Copies of this chain bind each other. A is one copy, B any other.
């Protein structure tokens, strides 16, 4: 029945040609597959004569992670494309523009952002992004508020929940973030020197209870349309511009999960700073920059989310005295818990981060890993008591000085 097949570079050009208003009808188009082939084909289709280009991204019917390959729904291309369109409408300029979607071929033609770098790589190279805290807080405040029951007609939201049921990709998160790191699972992967740390994790029942409760929130709290995988590898950046990409994990879940993803990846980079500076002073400067980013992201997010709530709250219940304060407090606590969960999984779980894994010196790498684990565990354990973002920062700071 299906017309699906992996595209060739020539076919990618044929599709790119059909997008009106991009290319000159004269000049030749050149196509180059630039993906890593693990999940998607990514074609860069450019026209040298005009300098114009687009990206043709096509989902593959499988995922390859660390040598393993398993089948994975092509429907994720539809979800990614629909999420990008919604995010683009709600947070203009903060996602790539979508030019064309073909659900049968599982492909999206979108704006080429080759002038940006992947933020994880940018940070590793010492990049500083003065607009980031403002942009990402804007992206989260607007996409999350306007798809929640606070900022959207509640009946329309129920129908939208419907089209973002995303069981296969949610399952990956449920297993790899909220389950496997806390038991001796085959999928786990960690350096041998972390064996003892991992075993402590597997035996820590206080931690397990908090993870079970966070997982329950991920499974049942359909607060807003999440990006669902908002780490620094899903962000294209320059000092002047921020573009959030790859929302194939999008679904309706707890708002704190997206914010936690951003903060966790900044904290993982914070932990990686055991390596990146020869001297203590410049390491401290870098860490202060990261901590200040985290503070600004939460504070700006909270300010913007509250402002949207005050101006665009859907109904009179949203104005109930004390409700906004109570909600924001719970949101901060969720954020802290999910931040922790997203740190721990990057040290002992299946998928790691380059910030830490690529530290060449094993002693330095181990220090960074232990620090990330320590911060992650503390955040998970204390999440339900937190009342201020400064507590999250203090946990990171004290652990780094211990």
Contacts and interface: CB of A to CB of B under 8 A. Distances in A.
A155 B179 contact: no
A321 interface: yes
A209 B165 contact: no
Given A149-B219, A154-B174, A221-B220, A179 B317 contact: yes
Contact of A316 (B159, B161, B168, B183): B183
Interface string A144-174: 0000010000111011011001111011001
Interface in A198-226: 205, 208-209, 211-213, 215-216, 219-223
Contact of A220 (B223, B316, B326): B223
A205 B322 contact: yes
Given A212-B320, A321-B209, A155 B178 contact: no
Given A213-B323, A213-B326, A321-B205, A155 B168 contact: yes
Contacts of A162: 162, 165
A315 interface: yes
A119 B5 CA distance: 60
Nearest to A251: B158
Contacts of A215: 317
A317 B321 CA distance: 37
Q: How large is the interface on A (under 10, 10 to 19, 20 to 34, 35 or more residues)?
A: 35 or more
Contacts of A167: 154-156, 158-159
Contacts of A221: 220-222
A320 B183 CA distance: 11
Nearest to A149: B219
Contact of A322 (B166, B209, B216, B326): B209
A228 to B, nearest CB: 13
A340 B183 CA distance: 41
B155 A171 contact: yes
A155 B212 CA distance: 17
Nearest to A215: B317
Given A183-B316, A213-B326, A165 B158 contact: yes
Interface string A313-332: 00111001111001100000
Contacts of A213: 323, 326
A346 to B, nearest CB: 20
Interface in A116-165: 149, 154-156, 158-159, 161-162, 165
A362 to B, nearest CB: 32
Nearest to A224: B220
B321 A208 contact: yes
B208 A320 contact: yes
Contacts of A159: 165, 167
B209 A323 contact: yes
A219 to B, nearest CB: 5
A300 B178 CA distance: 31
A154 B179 contact: no
A315 B165 contact: no
Nearest to A206: B322
A193 to B, nearest CB: 27
Given A174-B154, A223-B220, A320 B209 contact: yes
A179 B220 contact: no
Interface string A232-257: 00000000000000000000000000
Interface of A: 149, 154-156, 158-159, 161-162, 165-168, 170-171, 174, 178-179, 183, 205, 208-209, 211-213, 215-216, 219-223, 315-317, 320-323, 326-327
Given A158-B166, A221-B221, 14 more contacts: A154-B171, A154-B219, A155-B171, A158-B167, A161-B161, A179-B315, A179-B316, A208-B321, A208-B323, A211-B317, A211-B320, A212-B317, A220-B222, A222-B222
